[in-house]
Amino acid sequence: MADIYLIKYSVKGIKAIDQLVSLSFYKKIIPKNADTQAYNIKGIYGMNGSGKSGIITSVEILKNLLIDSDYLNNPIVQKNLDAIINKKTSELFIEADYITKIGEEVTGFYRYNVTLLKGVTGRYVISHEALFTKKATSRSDAMHTIFEVDNGEIIMLIEEVGELAKAIRKENSKLAIDYNRISEYESIEGEIADVFIVLISICINERINLVDAVLKKEKINISREWSK
């Protein structure tokens, strides 16, 4: 199982923090065999009123969002959020960069962010959520989207299926394709993998057991009468 190490943490919109505050906990360049042991202790210091307690509170909120699917359904939580979310921004944005390691080798770099906003019902909801990744040792800032949800609408699954369709066209000479962009299209195998990764991420986010869902749906499909 991979170990996870926090590399950078950013927050905006809690208590007095109305501008994005970012804290870096590791060097900008991440080597293949990163020595994270020297960076295991995270510390925050600053003047009174500088936002230290707001940052700590936001970390607690992020933890609860990730481990408790009913967190935002708690009336006490909603009342507390209404008191601590900055009135100027009217929303809370949290972002965490982290790497995964197996043994001494860094296996991945990920960026997760989530935005809480008061919905039409007057309750705070997740208005935007996304997870990105890139090769950990890459010097490029370009990220690949694993999943992205905006106001409850899945964005990335549609895009990945579209890329799969382009890959199928690329490998099928009978189908029309934009040859000026053919080098941008990956293999069918690679695009199917991307679709599956996004689908699994959605299932994790929505607490859905994909195997159980497929078996239940197949039972329904078997009992149907299909027209020829």
pLDDT at res. 30: 75
Strands (E), the chain: 3-12, 21-24, 91-102, 105-118, 124-134, 144-150, 153-154
Residue 96, pLDDT score: 96
Q: In this prediction, what percent of the chain has a pLDDT beyond 90? A: 34
3 state SS of 22: strand
pLDDT at 227 > cutoff 70: no
Average pLDDT value for the chain = 82
pLDDT digits (tens, 9 = 90+) for 6-34: 889 999 999 999 999 999 888 777 767 77
pTM surpassing 0.75?
Answer: no
Mean pLDDT within 42-59: 86
- Per residue in 125-158, pLDDT (tens digit) is 999 999 888 887 777 778 888 888 887 666 666 6
Residues 6 or more apart from 129 whose CB is under 8 A from it? 113, 114, 115, 147, 148, 149, 205
Q: Is the pLDDT assigned to residue 79 strictly greater than 80?
A: yes
Helices (H), 47-119: 52-67, 75-84
